Amino acid sequence: MKRGTTIPKSKNFIKIWLLGFAFMLVIFNSSVTLALDPLGPPIATLEAGQFSLGLDYSRSSMDSQLINGKWTDSTYGSFEGAGKSISLTLEDFEQSSSYVNFGYGIDYGWEAFIRLNYTKAEFSNSLTPKGDKFESDSVPAFGGGIKATFYETEDLIIGGIAQANMVHYNGQRNVSDWYLPDFVETDIIEIQFTMGASYMLIDGIWIYGGPIIHFINGEFTNISITEAETGGLTLTEYTWDIEEDSMYGGYIGTQLDLGDYYSLSIEYQLTGSANALGAGFVMRF
């Protein structure tokens, strides 16, 4: 991390406004959502014109509500019926993700980044008393965000992050005594916002963290296949909106600087309905 002087108030105002604008833009243009991704120190760490390449890994778990459910039946492609589905709780939806991050220093105390990741999801014993298990295919995903530094001294830096990640999961859901598996799809955009601080304990070792706001506004689809009484197969498609139990929480982490251009970090995030553990490596050039 760089250490320097206090950033002018006028630039702080612009950064806070832009950070908030980007955060609200992501929220109002999102239709789908789900878990926690690594944040890193809540500050900009790149000089103007500087690039970074980072590698991250995280594993997260989350509980959410499936609401506003609907179902439709069709046989041989012909509509048979429709109705409302009961609300359910999706427990312990777990994600394992590996990330490649590309960052760029836009200005002093101000940077943007894009993120490519390869991810997999699973849950078990969640949606039926008989016991079920879902495991998705490993799929690519992408996201990005912005980081800003508002105040900086020799040992303390204060800033914020707004980021989003988008992914589409699909796979089979198996229930112990069902002859055919169900097919599950989830469309996910995860949105996180934090304002926090990074403090140098000793030269090259930092602790960081702050409060988190985490949004979910997604869709969960389950397609069941059964034998129709008249012969053939009936497809029943259930669709729910995803609602988060709690959107507020916090996180804490530590970073080790390996010279001027390399760093390692590890962090833990926690909200009322989700938690995540992540680790990362960053190279600046």
225-281, pLDDT tens digit by residue?
A: 877 666 677 888 899 988 766 678 999 999 999 888 999 999 999 988 888 999 999
Q: From CA 49, how far away is CA 134, in angstroms rounded?
A: 44
Residue ranges of the chain with per-residue pLDDT less than 70: 1-35, 76-77, 228-231, 244-246
- Which CATH number belongs to the domain containing residue 171 in this structure? 2.40.128
2 domain residue, yes or no: no
140 domain residue, yes or no: yes
1 domain residue, yes or no: no
Predicted local confidence at residue 30, as pLDDT? 35
Predicted local confidence at residue 27, as pLDDT? 39
Question: Which residue blocks in 181-266 are alpha helix, DSSP H?
Answer: none
Q: From CA 146, how far away is CA 164, in angstroms rounded?
A: 10
Predicted local confidence at residue 178, as pLDDT? 73
Predicted local confidence at residue 11, as pLDDT? 52
When divided into structural domains, the chain yields a total of 1
Range of the domain at 20: 9-284
13 domain residue, yes or no: yes
85 domain residue, yes or no: yes
131 domain residue, yes or no: yes
Predicted local confidence at residue 230, as pLDDT? 63
Contact 169, 186 (CB under 8 A): yes
Contact 157, 149 (CB under 8 A): yes
Residue 121: closest CA among 70, 165, 71: 165
Contacts of 146 (CB under 8 A, 6+ apart): 18, 19, 22, 110, 111, 112, 113, 161, 162, 163
127 domain residue, yes or no: yes
Predicted local confidence at residue 9, as pLDDT? 52
Decide: residue 7, CB within 10 A, 0-12 exposed, 13-18 middle, 19+ buried.
buried
187 domain residue, yes or no: yes
What pTM value is reported for the model? Answer: 0.78
Three-state secondary-structure class, residue 22? helix
Q: From CA 91, how far away is CA 243, in angstroms rounded?
A: 12
Predicted local confidence at residue 34, as pLDDT? 43
